[in-house]
Amino acid sequence: MDSILDSVKKALGIDTSYTAFDVDILMHINTVLATLNQLGIGPDMGFTVEDASATWSDFLGMDSRLNNVKTYVYLRVRLIFDPPGGSYHLVNSMKEQVQELEWRISVKREDEAWVDPTPPVVDPDNVQYVPIPVNDYMVSEP
């Protein structure tokens, strides 16, 4: 099953033909996909699931090393949409799994596209100011 919506619904225990909760589930899926985008996973411009036609291949490409993203999306959606009731340990276990998957996903992404978090050193004597409009006035220097 490659449909993002259908696979998340199946993991939640909801029949794919039952659509009463689709709007809610889609909202939560898109929230999780936005988080993954911030972690560097998925298309650079983000990705939105609007219906069952959006697939994991569309979001992840063909990289099977990212299969844990599917579990991550399910767990995050489950914790938002239908958290386990009455069991602190089960909720805590799911949160720990989410944290581990976030770490593993980040490590995988950093192996391919590591970005140095250190900001570049700027020479204050060689700064070029770009004029910006502020209340009908052009400001060109601080």
pLDDT tens, 108-125? 888 777 666 677 777 777
Considering the entire predicted model, what is its pTM? 0.77
Per DSSP, what are the bridge partners of residue 139? 132
Q: Classify residue 97 as exposed, middle or buried by CB count within 10 Å of its CB (0-12, 13-18, 19+).
A: middle
pLDDT in tens, 6-42: 999 999 999 999 999 999 999 999 999 999 998 889 9
Structure tokens at 2: 């490659």
pLDDT tens digit sequence for 42-96: 998 999 999 999 999 999 988 888 899 999 999 999 999 988 887 788 899 999 9
d(Cα 13, Cα 9) in Å, to the nearest integer? Answer: 6
Please, what is the Cα angle at 105 between 103 and 108, to 5 degrees?
A: 110
